[in-house]
A and B are shown apart, each in its own frame.
Chain A
Amino acid sequence: LAKTTQPISMDSYEGQEVNITCSHNNIATNDYITWYQQFPSQGPRFIIQGYKTKVTNEVASLFIPADRKSSTLSLPRVSLSDTAVYYCLVVDPGANNLFFGTGTRLTVIP
């Protein structure tokens, strides 16, 4: 499984755009990138997934450069309810499980 590296924590004020960058230098050709969000006392929740370039949904955008050695999760205009831990994962389609690191703890400040 390709290892990922992301910041341990980030703080942001309400209304700002937040970008969380994840590095995955050893990503394989067939791997893709997935992000999960975890609120306290809940299991992680899938938020976005991509292989290359840009993916956008109602929650976030995911930017993946051509070399795919990193990815950036972008949360537009965060609110207090976006305070959570965000996990960056590299998914091997042939693997039996997903590897979750310790994630990035995002704290949104009023």
Chain B
Amino acid sequence: GAGVSQSPSNKVTEKGKDVELRCDPISGHTALYWYRQSLGQGLEFLIYFQGNSAPDKSGLPSDRFSAERTGGSVSTLTIQRTQQEDSAVYLCASSWEGPSYGYTFGSGTRLTVV
């Protein structure tokens, strides 16, 4: 597609439930990133996928967070047993090969845990 697409745009979930957030990167972009942004804060790196290499998961805050990327394209970020502190905007970005090529971000998924 023309841009990075994320769904859903908004998600309200009850504490303790699992959620899945989806990202469709720009076609041909081999690198995909997940960040999250809390209200009024900067972006926090979560995970990085590059081609067929093992993902860099160094930013995942706990083992409740996981992500996969199928077929080198679509990615899903899963948060298990959501907590209120997980409430944030989750942003996905893609780029040609790595961060030095510049990111294109999606509009994000606003997650609210009640």
Contacts and interface: CB of A to CB of B under 8 A. Distances in A.
Interface of A: 32, 34, 36, 41-46, 49, 87, 91, 93, 95-103
B58 to A, nearest CB: 8
A49 B101 CA distance: 10
A6 B98 CA distance: 25
Interface string B89-107: 0011100001110111111
Interface residues of B, number: 26
Given A42-B108, A101-B42, A103-B42, 13 more contacts: A32-B100, A43-B107, A43-B108, A44-B105, A46-B103, A46-B104, A93-B98, A96-B48, A96-B50, A97-B48, A98-B103, A100-B35, A102-B42
A41 B107 CA distance: 7
Given A97-B56, A101-B42, A43 B91 contact: yes
A43 B106 contact: yes
A102 B41 contact: yes
B99 A43 contact: no
Contacts of A42: 105, 107-108
Nearest to B48: A96
Interface in B71-114: 91-93, 98-100, 102-108
B31 to A, nearest CB: 9
Max chain B C-beta neighbours (<10 A), residue from A45, A93, A95, A97:
A97
Contacts of A102: 40-42
B91 A98 contact: no
B90 to A, nearest CB: 10
B59 interface: yes
A44 B100 CA distance: 15
Given A93-B98, A93-B100, A99 B45 contact: yes
